[in-house]
Amino acid sequence: MSENILVVGVFDLFHVGHLTLLEKSKALGDKLFIIVNGDKMTGEYKRTPYINENDRKRLIEALDIVDEAVISNEFDIKPYIEQFNITKIVHGDDWELNSYMEQIRCTPEYLAAQGCEIVMLPYTQGISTSALIKQIKQS
């Protein structure tokens, strides 16, 4: 059975931390699927992205390690887990697991029934979109 990996993110101001997460995610399986959080949704829980959703998706799709990317403005990722037969959902460990599961609208019971697990990878220290924005504003 193939290992299908899913990463969900905004990927605004794409940086080496994003790339590192995607490279480590791809190493966990055979195919890498990405959900790019859409502008509307991201504006609801975070801030309006600087780079629009279509351009962020194009940047992600340009990476050889990415097999498919979609834009979603829904928090519930269950349709994508089922559509892509996802076996692992990967996220940086900067989010607390239960909070992240609530964000993506998944329960442990649902994931177990799908044969899917969440893998929290170490966050890339020293780089983040928030830090980049702060640095740009200060310069």
Query: What per-residue confidence (pLDDT) applies to 133?
Result: 76
Task: Mark out the alpha helices in 5-77 (DSSP H runs).
Answer: 16-26, 39-45, 53-61
Q: What per-residue confidence (pLDDT) applies to 56?
A: 98
CATH superfamily membership of 4-137? HUPs (3.40.50.620)
77-81, 110-114, 134-138: lowest mean pLDDT where?
Answer: 134-138
d(CA 45, CA 101): 15
Q: What is the pLDDT of residue 88?
A: 98
pLDDT of residue 124: 78
DSSP of 24-35: HHHTTSSEEEEE
